[in-house]
Amino acid sequence: MNFVITTQFLENYGAHQGKGTFAAGEAYWKMKGGSDYLVQDLDRIQDAVAFVAAIAIENGLGAKEFPIEWQTEAEWISKLPDDADYRDFLKEQVLVVSPKQPKVVGRGYPEEV
């Protein structure tokens, strides 16, 4: 079974000046998008979330990225917008990953999946 795990990316604008920490009063976080990961070769959604966390989580002073949504591939497909151009764009942007591969397998929704 395949799953789609969505992440959120945050950037700390405060890290570009001074310490950028909350303690220093310089933290200024902004939402900056995220990614959809199509996870192949796993049978449980919990494992897919943990796998994406292992390869994608960032938790530094300047940036953070973490999973915010998880669903089956079929659920993700059913929620794609009706607008063909936007739907194709989202499918082109998905990152295909697998625990059988050490890095991102590719970008773009595989046609044979």
What are the extents of the domains in the chain?
Answer: 3-107
What is the longest distance spanned by two Cα atoms in the chain? Answer: 51
Does residue 59 sit in helix, strand or coil? strand
Each residue's pLDDT tens digit, 20-70:
899 999 999 999 999 999 999 999 999 999 999 999 998 999 999 999 999
Nearest to residue 6, comparing CAs of 80, 94, 105, 77?
A: 94
Instruction: Tell whether pTM > 0.75.
Output: yes
Of the candidates 30, 28, 31, the residue with the CA atom closest to the CA atom of residue 16: 28
Q: Which pLDDT does position 112 carry in this prediction?
A: 54
